[in-house]
Amino acid sequence: MNILGIETSCDETAAAVVSDGMRVRSHVVATSLKEHARFGGIIPEIASRRQIESIYLVVSQALKKAKMAWGTIGAIAVTTKPGLIGSLLVGVAFARALAYATGKPLVEVDHIQAHWYACFLRKANDKSPLPQLPAVGLVVSGGHTSLFDIKDFNRVKLLGQTRDDAAGESFDKVARLLNLGYPGGPAIDRLAKEGVNQQIRFPRAQLENSYDFSFSGLKTAVLYYTRQHKNFSVPQVAYAFQDSVISVLTAKAMRACQRKKAKSLLVGGGVAANSALRLSLQQAANRLHISLYLPPMVFCLDNAAMVAGLAYRDKRIEG
């Protein structure tokens, strides 16, 4: 079945056509990210206005690129939560109108679940194996840090989440403190490579016996360090901060995999683009003989292919 997916939860307006929950026929993303950069974070009012301007064009392009007539689309999928309400509303209203006008079923999709599902997406000629279940899902984005126990597509349990800042949010806040611009993840990733050191060690909030995360204390520790050391090295601080985030994410994800006897670890969200995190997860997964899945960059970030893909696993569609 071909599903048209629509994603408008934040600053991206995205549409995609995916066949049978995995083959990506087309995917189009428009983003207003650059317009928010000078404010150091997403401005919801700007984001939702750009959504309204882009939605029609993005959906039309996705259908055109997939070379699929309306008659071949079996269902429409849309992100309904979580996200910025003004942005979500644009996609939901558009998808509902489409479903109403065409008589096709509408599937509501959770954005965070869609992020780990991105590990199942495959381009046309990609024959690489699909992840095996049970799996653990680690979603690390600008707004979320969550661990899931995935027994099967309709039996997913939240194991833990951040109690304060999301992982990406902490990259963005520390980058701001270091004057590295917004979004901060890519800049810290780059600089940290030049600042490898063991002298600076920031706290690691392990929160014993819990799968929850906490990153706000780390951000404060970085702030105090930069106040106390006037001539600090930006790359070294970037490295030490990143090392703290990565070690906590890796340790908790691996503990979840062991305890839940997971065959695969499925990682998604913008922070999954981080080169040191990818390496750390790969090394740990190899040690425990767990298959690690990291989507290509375009599917780590917000996109509609993951939404169309996950919708296919909805009981009403798949059954």
Closer to ligand KG4 at the Cβ: 7 or 149? 7
Show contacts of 19-24: CB within 8 Å, 24+ apart.
20/312, 21/120, 21/309, 21/310, 21/311, 21/312, 21/313, 21/318, 22/120, 22/121, 22/122, 22/130, 22/309, 22/312, 23/122, 23/123, 23/124, 24/121, 24/122, 24/123, 24/124, 24/305, 24/309
Residue 295 is a binding residue for ligand KG4 (CB under 6 A): no
> Which residues in 271-310 contact Zn ion (CB under 5 A)?
302
Q: Parallel, antiparallel, or unpaired: how do β-strands 264-268 and 291-293 relate?
A: parallel
What is the closest distance, in whole angstroms, from the C-beta atom of residue 262 to ligand KG4 in the complex? 22
**Where do we find the tokens 């790969």?**
282
In the list 189, 237, 246, 260, the residue contacting ligand KG4 (rule: CB under 6 A) is 189
Identity of the residue numbered 212? D
Question: Cα 100 from chain centroid?
Answer: 30
What is the closest distance, in whole angstroms, from the C-beta atom of residue 115 to Zn ion in the complex? 6
Phi, psi of 24 (to 5 degrees): -85, 110
Q: Which stretch binds Zn ion (CB under 5 A): 135-143, 169-177, 245-253, 287-295?
A: 135-143
Closest CA to 60 of 15, 102, 12: 15
Q: Parallel, antiparallel, or unpaired: how do β-strands 135-140 and 264-268 relate?
A: parallel
What is the closest distance, in whole angstroms, from the C-beta atom of residue 42 to ligand KG4 in the complex? 9
What is the closest distance, in whole angstroms, from the C-beta atom of residue 274 to ligand KG4 in the complex? 3
Closer to ligand KG4 at the Cβ: 131 or 183? 183
Order of strands across the sheet with 73-81?
A: 23-31, 12-19, 2-7, 73-81, 106-110
In the list 94, 120, 171, 241, the residue contacting ligand KG4 (rule: CB under 6 A) is 171
Closer to ligand KG4 at the Cβ: 150 or 306? 306
Residue 235 is a binding residue for ligand KG4 (CB under 6 A): no
Residue 141 is a binding residue for ligand KG4 (CB under 6 A): yes
83 binds, among ligand KG4, Zn ion, none (CB under 5 to 8 A by kind): none
> Which residues in 272-291 contact ligand KG4 (CB under 6 A)?
273-274
Identity of the residue numbered 46? I
142 binds, among Zn ion, ligand KG4, none (CB under 5 to 8 A by kind): ligand KG4
Phi, psi of 130 (to 5 degrees): -85, 155
What is the closest distance, in whole angstroms, from the C-beta atom of residue 137 to ligand KG4 in the complex? 14
Closer to ligand KG4 at the Cβ: 134 or 186? 186
Binding mask 88-127 toward ligand KG4 (x if CB under 6 A, else -) reads ----------------------------------------
Residue 141 is a binding residue for Zn ion (CB under 5 A): yes
Helix/strand/coil for 209: coil
Residues that bind Zn ion (CB under 5 A): 141, 302
Residues that bind ligand KG4 (CB under 6 A): 10, 141-143, 168, 171-172, 183-186, 189, 269-271, 273-274, 301-302
